[in-house]
Copies of this chain bind each other. A is one copy, B any other.
Amino acid sequence: MALIAPRTPPGTMELLPSKQIAFQRMLDTIRRGYERFGFLQIETPVFETVDVLLTKSGGETEKQIYFVQSTGALEQAKRPDIALRFDLTVPTARYVAEHEHDLSFPFRRYQIQRVYRGERAQKGRYREFYQCDIDVIGKDSLSVAYDAEMPAVIYTVFRDLAQVGIDVGPFQINLSNRKILRGFLEGLNLSEGEAQAAVLREIDKLPKVGVDAVRTTLTGEQALSAEMADAILAFVGIDGTTDEMLAKAKDLGSASALAQEGLGELTQVVAGLRALGVPDTHFRVNFSITRGLDYYTGTVYETFLTDFPQMGSVCSGGRYDNLASQYTKSKLPGVGISIGATRLFYVLDQAGLVKDQTSTIDVLVTQFAPELLPDYLTLAGELRSAGLNVEVHLEPAKIAKQMKYADRAGIPMVLMMGPDEAAAGTVTVKRLASGEQATVARADLAGHLLAAFGRAR
């Protein structure tokens, strides 16, 4: 039989075990952070029925859908009736609308699952990637207090990632509120929806193309006066401490009630962030943050890694007025934020910032003497009962080869028990990193190892 070349499908991230351990620790840290703040997990199927999935989109999104068909349907050349989710927002909207009467509102959900985009494959662009979302969804109304919680969660998660050997380095969560810039534009008599949206889209490009290019487009294509373009650029360029910026914007935006409303909300969010213990170094008001999507109506977030400006925002989100208007008449306002874990991991790993991980295996019990295998199995069982992760080297091999295996696999501790030790009721414990070796009574072994790992019994 001819061999088929085994190959990972393009546009996906598949990891060897040592990297998989690091990636899983990243997801676990995100999950733990989300649960710390009282978010509840949901999971939805990987596919949705096509009519449910494609209500809103059209345009770019629809070109990137992955449709799913069973063998039978394909043979009959039917139109597919299910498709893979392209984000977690649409499935969550469907979930909340479908289960509305069984949920308590405000509904605080987190969802950590993969999403799919039928993109052309290229380096660093994924067809399959993890999104890690939190959202709080209210019924009819939702206090702006929730808007402060989102960046506090993200701050906690990013800070804690360093503790599992994934160091994102310095980062800053940028905050604004769409009402502020929209209100400011209204104050300049730029009230018409499409004209406003066009300006917001240009502002969104600022970090990529720079001030001069944006000014050229605003005064050229968009036919604004030079004064107006300058006023807009001055507004989005407001700088200083957080409190100075809020004061300046209050001043410059005094003509608009909407801008004042947005500034009031943003001021509340800043106060909430401080009460939640997020230091001023890790967030920043930034009036040029607009988020392209019309979906957002109030607070908006983008997060930048100081050492990776070219990555753009690694964690974005905001406040929306109505989550699920396509599925239910109930008004469901909410606020949410999302980490794109696959791309974040890829970039950090490429930059060498994912540290070598110790294995999930704590201890290797070597097979010192094959006739003692039943003893090794019993010993391993004792240690597992104490909460340790233990592999027994079940394949007979030279002890040096077994040591080398443990070392390559990142297993921190190795046990040896020969016939003499078995008779004496002792075990030799070796810490591979230091070469340190100790003889420990078998009755004390679990306690000894747990103490060496700094874990409670």
Which B residue's beta carbon lies closest to that of A113? B114
Annotate A385-406 by CB proximity to B: 1 below 8 A, 0 otherwise: 0001111101110000000010
Q: A21 at interface (Cβ–Cβ under 8 A)?
A: yes
The answer to whether B384 and A37 touch across the interface, beta carbons within 8 angstroms, is yes
CB-based contact A69/B64 at 8 Å: no
- Whether A452 is near chain B, meaning CB under 8 Å from some CB there, is no
Residue of A21, A38, A380, A409 most packed against chain B (CB within 10 A): A38
Interface string of A351-377 (1 = CB under 8 A from B): 000000001110010000000011101
Is A271 an interface residue, CB under 8 A from the partner?
Answer: yes
Contacts of A108 in B (CB 8 A): 391
Contact string, A158-196, partner B, CB cutoff 8 A, digits 1/0? 000000000000000000000000000000000000000
Give the contacting residue for A41; candidates B20, B38, B391; CB below 8 A.
B20
Within 8 A of B (CB), among A140-155: 142-143, 145-146, 148-149, 152
Q: Are A41 and B68 in contact (CB under 8 A)?
A: no
Q: Which residue of B lies closest to A138 (CB)?
A: B395
User: Beyond A43-B20, A70-B66, A143-B394, is A6–B38 a contact (Cβ under 8 Å)?
Assistant: no
* In the assembled complex, A156 has its CB within 8 A of some CB on chain B: yes
Q: Is the CB of A275 within 8 A of B17?
A: no
- The complex places the Cα of A97 from the Cα of B99 at a distance, in Å, of 44
Q: Tell me how many residues of A have a C-beta within 8 Å of chain B.
A: 110
**Chain B residues in 8 Å Cβ range of A236:** none
Q: Which residues of B contact A396 (CB under 8 A)?
A: 143
Q: Are B8 and A20 in contact (CB under 8 A)?
A: no
- Tell whether A243 is near chain B: CB-to-CB under 8 Å: no
Report if A434 contacts B (CB, 8 A).
no
A269 to B126, CA, bound (A): 44
Which of chain A's residues 1-39 have a Cβ closer than 8 Å to chain B?
Answer: 1, 3-9, 12, 14-17, 20-21, 24, 35-38
Chain A interfacial positions (CB closer than 8 Å to B): 1, 3-9, 12, 14-17, 20-21, 24, 35-38, 40-49, 51-52, 55, 62-74, 77, 80, 82, 84, 93-95, 97-99, 102-104, 106, 108-109, 114, 116, 118, 128, 138, 142-143, 145-146, 148-149, 152, 156, 271-272, 275-277, 324-329, 359-361, 364, 373-375, 377-378, 380-381, 384, 388-392, 394-396, 405, 408-409, 456
